[in-house]
């Protein structure tokens, strides 16, 4: 095996491990924390939406952090990427453990901690995303996306084994998750990355302007923004709703997540098998209408009082099959649309707009009834197909 192939394998392993930790953390925050704040502590949904938005702000700062990680080195390791990963891991792990404070009495302090934890998470994420773009020319786009998404899913699945700890003590649960996320540090110390990744990159703002003038890139930006609004609307509202409406425990919520995870694997396998035969945009059109129908079904069930926890399980199994496909295909589209000359920057521009849509959803989620949220989600999912049809037309021309 050539040194170049070994380098790609090492980078893929690193990407997988970082995304695994990120999946682990994402579950702890967006499932356990959401359930804890909204159902256990009974904090007002509007306040949860506000503090959730504060925690998401660092994800919008990716647009600033990405050029910095491309251009500047830190005096920690000789390897530039390792230095940024180290900072991100430390920030993330320490401040995640501090989620164990008395949130009710130190709510403002908790919002600051949430912001700093997210900042560390973002630095990690930006660094590995730039690695993914840098090896794009040597590896099939979808295969990199699969590595990313599998890492996220496996990390989320591992959290199921610490749900019992959260049930016993949420504070202890967050401390354990924070400590476990620091286990990435030995990998950073001992993994060798290819030296060409450490070359400083001058951020060419002229090149950025050229990218933004492309009609295709503009449409993908709009699609990225619309893609995650529905996810934001549900992020801090679904788990508390399940607790209030059905008396669902955190274990029940975990079961819903695991079932969705297992069904996602089916979609991942199918996508991998047919990865070279599928048109990404046409696939997304089908997924969008499919997801819109599922969301509309839940909306009708909620407003007609026909909803049950079992129905949620069934619907989320059906949605899970294509949710994994949607996320991996989206990342593949982002990587494909990114400029290799701006390893992290152009890719992170797209991710930033994705996160901006997510933040908008979280911010307004506390004001909206869960049934209306599913209705809005269905409308957004169906509407974004207009952009996909335009992208298909551009590709065909």
- How does pLDDT run across 2-17, given as a tens digit for each residue? 666 777 777 888 888 8
Least confidently predicted of 4-8, 148-152, 176-180, 305-309: 4-8
- Residue 125 is predicted with a pLDDT of 86
Confidence band of 194 (pLDDT split at 50, 70, 90): low
Mean pLDDT of 349-362: 90
Closest of 58, 163, 181, 62 to residue 111, by C-alpha? 58
Confidence band of 140 (pLDDT split at 50, 70, 90): very low
Q: For residue 242, what are the contacts with CB-CB under 8 A and spacing of at least 6? A: 248, 252, 253, 256, 309, 312
pLDDT at 47 over 90: yes
Confidence band of 78 (pLDDT split at 50, 70, 90): low
Domain boundaries, the chain: 3-191+203-396
pLDDT at 372 over 90: yes
Mean pLDDT of 154-169: 80
* Greater model confidence, 334 or 306: 306
- Residue 204 is predicted with a pLDDT of 59
The CA R_g of the chain, rounded to the nearest whole Å, is 20
* Buried-exposed string 245-281: b where 16+ CB fall within 10 A, e elsewhere: eeebebebbbbbbbbbbebbeebbeebeeebeebebb
pLDDT at 199 over 60: no
Confidence band of 325 (pLDDT split at 50, 70, 90): confident
User: Would you say 321 and 262 are in contact if contact means Cβ atoms under 8 Å apart?
Assistant: no
Of the ranges 13-27, 71-85, 223-237, 254-268, which is most confident? Answer: 223-237
Under CATH, to which class is 3-191+203-396 assigned? mainly alpha
* Greater model confidence, 42 or 145: 42
- Residue 275 is predicted with a pLDDT of 66
* Greater model confidence, 326 or 194: 326
pLDDT at 139 over 50: no
DSSP state of 357: H
Residue 223, phi then psi, degrees to nearest 5: -65, -40
% of the chain exceeding 70 in pLDDT: 87
pLDDT at 391 over 80: yes
Full 3-state SS string of the chain: CCHHHHHHHHHHHHHHHHHHHHHHHHHHHHHHHHHHHHHHCCCCHHHHHHHHHHHHHHHHCHHHHHHHHHHCCCCCCCCHHHHHHHHHHHHHHHHHHHHHCCCCCCHHHHHHHHHHHHHHHHHHHHHHHHHHHHCHHHCCHHHHHHHHHHHHHHHHHHHHHHHHHHHHCHHHHHHHHHHHHHHHHHHHHHCCCCHHHHCCCCCCHHHHHHHHHCHHHHHHHHHHHHHCHHHHHHHCCHHHHHHHHHCCCHHHHHHHHHHHHHHHHHHHHHHHHCCCCCCHHHHHHHHHHHHHHHHHHHHHHHHCCCCCHHHHHHHHHHHHHHHHHHHHHHHHHHHHHCCCCCCCHHHHHHHHHHHHHHHHHHHHHCCCCHHHHHHHHHHHHHHCHHHHHHHHHHHHC
């Amino acid at each position: 095996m050539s040194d170049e192939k070994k380098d790609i394998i090492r980078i893929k392993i690193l990407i997988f491990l970082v995304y695994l930790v990120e999946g682990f953390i994402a579950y702890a925050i967006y499932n356990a924390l959401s359930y804890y704040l909204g159902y256990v502590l009974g904090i007002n949904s509007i306040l949860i939406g506000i503090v959730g938005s504060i925690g998401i702000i660092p994800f919008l700062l990716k647009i600033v952090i990405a050029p910095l990680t491309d251009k500047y080195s830190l005096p920690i390791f000789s390897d530039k990427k390792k230095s940024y990963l180290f900072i991100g891991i430390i920030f993330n792990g320490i401040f995640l453990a501090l989620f164990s404070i008395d949130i009710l009495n130190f709510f403002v302090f908790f919002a600051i901690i949430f912001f700093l934890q997210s900042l560390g998470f973002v630095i990690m994420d930006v660094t590995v995303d730039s690695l993914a773009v840098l090896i794009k020319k040597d590896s099939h786009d979808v295969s990199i996306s699969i590595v990313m998404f599998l890492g996220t899913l496996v990390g989320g699945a591992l959290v199921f084994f610490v749900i019992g700890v959260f049930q016993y003590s949420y504070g202890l649960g967050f401390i354990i998750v924070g400590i476990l996320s620091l286990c990435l540090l030995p990998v950073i110390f001992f993994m060798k990355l290819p030296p060409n990744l450490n070359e400083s990159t001058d951020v060419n703002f002229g090149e950025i302007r050229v990218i933004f003038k492309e009609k295709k890139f503009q449409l993908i930006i709009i699609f990225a923004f619309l893609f995650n609004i529905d996810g934001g609307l549900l992020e801090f509202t679904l788990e508390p709703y399940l607790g209030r409406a059905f008396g669902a425990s955190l274990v029940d919520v975990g079961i819903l997540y695991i079932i969705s995870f297992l069904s996602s694997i089916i979609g991942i396998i199918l996508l991998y098998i047919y990865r070279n035969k599928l048109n990404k945009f046409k696939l997304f059109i089908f997924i969008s209408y499919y997801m819109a129908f599922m969301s509309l079904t839940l909306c009708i069930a909620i407003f007609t009082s026909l909803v049950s926890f079992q129905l949620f399980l069934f619907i989320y199994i059906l949605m899970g099959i294509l949710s994994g496909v949607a996320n991996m295909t989206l990342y593949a589209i982002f990587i494909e649309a990114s400029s290799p000359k701006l390893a992290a920057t152009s890719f992170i521009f797209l991710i930033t707009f994705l996160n901006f849509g997510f933040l908008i959803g979280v911010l307004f989620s506390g004001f909206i009834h869960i049934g209306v949220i599913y209705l809005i989600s269905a409308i957004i999912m169906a509407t974004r197909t207009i952009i996909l049809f335009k992208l298909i037309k551009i590709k065909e021309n």
